[in-house]
Amino acid sequence: MAERILGKTLATVSLSVALASVTVKSSGCCSLPACRNSFLSCGFHLYSNIMSSSNGAKENSHNKARTSPYPGSKVQRSQVPNEKVGWFVEWQDYNPVEYTAVSVLAGPRWADPQISESNFSPKFNEKDGHVERKSQNGLYEIENGRPRNPAGRTGLIGRGLLGRWGPNHAADPIITRWKRDRSGNKITHPVSGKNILQFVAIKRKDCGEWAIPGGMVDPGEKISATLKREFGEEALNSLQKSSAEKRELEEQLHKLFSQEHLVIYKGYVDDPRNTDNAWMETEAVNYHDETGEIMDNLTLEAGDDAGKVKWVDISDQLQLYASHSQFIKLVAEKRDAHWSEDSDAECGGL
């Protein structure tokens, strides 16, 4: 009983330390004393869950990051039960599998070297040259020279398919329009009575799941540039266009991406590629074409990492890659659009 009370007390203190640290711009996480590191680990696991809950994700959402086999391989993760996800839970027998894909170990420009390489000294929790190693959820702990996933254990160490140790930053453009009939009138859902919103979805080549078109932020690149570039490449096949077509496409994309927009989510993503030492973070941004005129001048065409692309009606029936369904739900709420036929789900928010 005393141990349970002590555990709860430590978790509460840790959370206070973590929340206070969010506003601190110091990057000295690597040099923090070990006792403070343990507090940060515990606190940021809880803080991550709170952030997820407030942004529409399920509390303690850390499920896809524990699935097997690991994407693109036959590697099976060590099983991590729900009660052992958090680093603050002692687990002396935890023995995760180590795996980093051959494509990452080959040393492409988008990937870090191995931690063991003598000429590699990453500045974790800092802007490391052009590489952003800060997490959008605050400081993360470094253990034995490796960053530790702030959301908890995944059953796998190394980097898997991810290039960077620590946070791997992505950007997800959510392009929406109202569903309309042939006369141009907005279509309302017969049960909820709310207008139906549509978004541009791609079918990923790597796993066959439908998703928001998006991709990794290049070193030194602004998020706004990533959003526009990735949408053009995956949903409009811009890489295969002629010079004249690219210029025309750029004009339309400028109209779309220069509009007022909503930042839907910033932070950790429950992604199947995550490991104990590398994880996905994203900024999901909604650009809404209110009249539909801009997108009417653009022809959807799958390209780059996308196998297919189409407009999809937004509802709670969507099953999307990683945490994308949660982002889409947030868009529906922000735009006061149809989401569910369940009145409690519609009225209760997130």
**What is the pLDDT at residue 344?**
59
What tokens appear for 197 in the block? 């919103």
Annotate 241-280 with DSSP letters as a single string.
S-HHHHHHHHHHHHHHHTS-EEEEEEEE---TT--SSEEE
Tell whether the model's pLDDT for residue 31 goes beyond 70. Answer: no
Is the Cβ–Cβ distance between 224 and 172 less than 8 Å? no
Nearest to 311 by CA among 320, 303, 300, 319: 300
Strand stretches in 156-260, DSSP E? 156-160, 166-178, 197-204, 210-211, 215-216
More confident call, 350 vs 172: 172
Cα–Cα distance for residue pair 307/205, rounded to 1 Å: 5
- In three-state secondary structure terms, 297 is coil
Cα–Cα distance for residue pair 275/75, rounded to 1 Å: 12
**What is the pLDDT at residue 65?**
96
Cα–Cα distance for residue pair 271/276, rounded to 1 Å: 12
Tell whether the model's pLDDT for residue 5 goes beyond 80. Answer: no
User: For the chain, percent helix, then strand, then coil, each to nearest 5?
Assistant: 30, 20, 50
Average pLDDT over residues 99-121: 95
Average pLDDT over residues 216-242: 92
Cα–Cα distance for residue pair 176/197, rounded to 1 Å: 7
In terms of DSSP bridges, do strands 131-132 and 127-128 run parallel, antiparallel, or are they unpaired? antiparallel
Does residue 300 lie in a domain region?
yes
Q: What one-character DSSP code corresponds to residue 1?
A: -
Do you find a cis peptide bond into 96, omega within 30 degrees of 0? no
> Structurally, how many domains does the chain consist of?
1
Domain CATH number, residue 101: 3.90.79.10
Annotate 108-119 with DSSP letters as a single string.
-TTS---TT-TT
Cβ within 8 Å of residue 130, ≥6 positions away = 219, 220
pLDDT band at 91 (very low <50, low <70, confident <90, very high): very high
Neighbour-count burial of 24, counting CB atoms closer than 10 A to its CB (0-12 exposed, 13-18 middle, 19+ buried) = exposed
**What is the pLDDT at residue 12?**
43
Does residue 26 lie in a domain region?
no
Average pLDDT over residues 184-201: 95
**What is the pLDDT at residue 61?**
67
Mean pLDDT of the chain, nearest integer: 84
**What is the pLDDT at residue 348?**
44
CA angle 168, 315, 347 (to 5 degrees): 105
Average pLDDT over residues 128-153: 96
Which segment of 52-61, 89-98, 159-168, 291-300 scores lowest on mean pLDDT?
52-61
Does residue 43 lie in a domain region?
no
Nearest to 141 by CA among 62, 49, 13, 36: 36
Q: Which domain holds residue 288?
A: 64-335
**What is the pLDDT at residue 323?**
87
- Residues of the chain with pLDDT > 70, as a percent, come to 80
Does residue 3 lie in a domain region?
no
Hey, how many other C-beta atoms are within 10 angstroms of the C-beta on 252? 16
Q: What is the pLDDT of residues 307-339, one digit of tens each?
A: 999 999 999 999 998 889 999 999 999 999 999
- Reported pTM: 0.78
pLDDT band at 45 (very low <50, low <70, confident <90, very high): very low
Tell whether the model's pLDDT for residue 341 goes beyond 50. Answer: yes
Q: What is the pLDDT of residues 235-288, one digit of tens each?
A: 998 999 999 999 999 999 999 999 899 999 999 999 999 999 999 999 999 999
Which segment of 53-57, 64-68, 106-110, 232-236 scores lowest on mean pLDDT?
53-57
Q: Which amino acid is at 103?
A: S
More confident call, 210 vs 341: 210
Cα–Cα distance for residue pair 228/258, rounded to 1 Å: 10
Average pLDDT over residues 182-209: 93
Is the Cβ–Cβ distance between 144 and 84 less than 8 Å? no
